Amino acid sequence: MFVKKREFPHEVVVRNALLRRLPMNHKKRELIRADNAKDIAGYRGERTLDYYLKPLSNQNFTIFPNLRLILNEQAFQIDTLILTRSFFLLIEAKDITGTLTFDSIFDQFTRTDRDVETRYKHPITQVKRQGALLKSWFQRYGTPPLPFNYLAAFTNPTTILKTNSIDHPENKNILLVENVSHRILELKKANKLDIMSTSEHRKLTSKLLQSHTNAAPNMLQEYNISPQELITGVQCEKCSSFTMKEMERSWECSVCHHRSLTAHKPALLDYFLLISPTITNAECREFLKITSRHKAKRYIQSMEVTASGSKKGQRYHWRGYKQVKSGLPLLSRD
């Protein structure tokens, strides 16, 4: 069974906020959009994999999509973990078009698409590294040593797989996504001995879920962009211009005259995602381009925050990712 949902990439959410706040002629926009496209393609491939794993949900397979764990103060990410009482399996999903050729001599694979050849990191190397990290994580928590298996699944329906070594032992671990469930059932037949008890399996499942952490990327640092380069103010959800003005009880766009009671919420969400998860009343007024301390306090408190300090030194702490998941509009300027 699936024990957690596959989350939409948080990196894409933060990059979308960054794209909203960057001038249209900023030199980093194309790079940011290209990185978003890669992450969205990866997510699409992972969702395709989930579809083909659904028939296994009732066959004693515990499926963890999108697991992010911490080991020695370093995070590592797993596309998909399948845990049983007799073995564990990692699956690396890849959404890549074209003809893919696997080179066992140089441990790489290349894509040929429209007569252009591109080299990629070998997915088996990636998934083996993740497996080694997960083994170390298991050892830290006293998990019985489970046999480790791994697969690289290619999810794009147009992909063609080729190899320069027909008899290479890794070939059976590189496959098209529609063949994944059959291969997993083969692994189940080959690993019949239960290493963990039902109780141990249940405890390990709970520990993995409790240990999962969401990424908190610092996109300004990653792209070497200063906060001063960001557009401040409140964006109109209708025409996307940053021309919302504060009225008595609402916001009104000076361009299209659209009115909103909650236009400040996406703006503050952008602040939390891009600049800092904490904010003061003065910082709120500066970012929203308002003057009223009373209204700034009311706007901040609408974002599910906790407060520390008092008077002018009071700072509000955003409690996380809830607003992103709750359907706040992700406005665009592209």
One digit per residue, the tens of pLDDT, for the chain of length 334 reads: 999 999 899 999 999 999 999 999 999 999 999 999 999 999 999 999 999 999 997 788 999 999 999 999 899 999 999 999 999 999 999 999 889 998 877 778 889 888 888 888 888 989 999 999 999 999 999 999 999 999 999 999 999 998 887 777 788 999 999 999 999 999 999 999 999 999 999 999 999 999 999 888 899 999 999 999 999 999 999 999 999 999 988 999 999 999 999 999 999 999 999 999 999 999 999 999 999 999 999 999 999 899 998 877 899 999 875 445 434 444 445 5
**DSSP 3-state assignment of 261?**
coil
Residue 214 near residue 220, CB atoms below 8 Å = no
Greatest distance between any 2 Cα atoms in the chain: 74
- Distance, in Å, from the CA atom of 190 to the CA atom of 331, rounded to the nearest integer, reads 50
Nearest CA to 277 among 235, 242, 306? 306
- Distance, in Å, from the CA atom of 276 to the CA atom of 332, rounded to the nearest integer, reads 21
- Distance, in Å, from the CA atom of 88 to the CA atom of 148, rounded to the nearest integer, reads 5
What is residue 60's predicted lDDT score, i.e. its pLDDT?
87
- φ/ψ (deg, to 5) at 74: -120, 135
What is residue 334's predicted lDDT score, i.e. its pLDDT?
54
List of residues 6+ apart from 123 with CB closer than 8 A: 92, 94, 109, 152, 174
Task: Quick: pLDDT tens for 195-218.
Answer: 999 999 999 999 999 999 988 889
- Distance, in Å, from the CA atom of 327 to the CA atom of 334, rounded to the nearest integer, reads 20
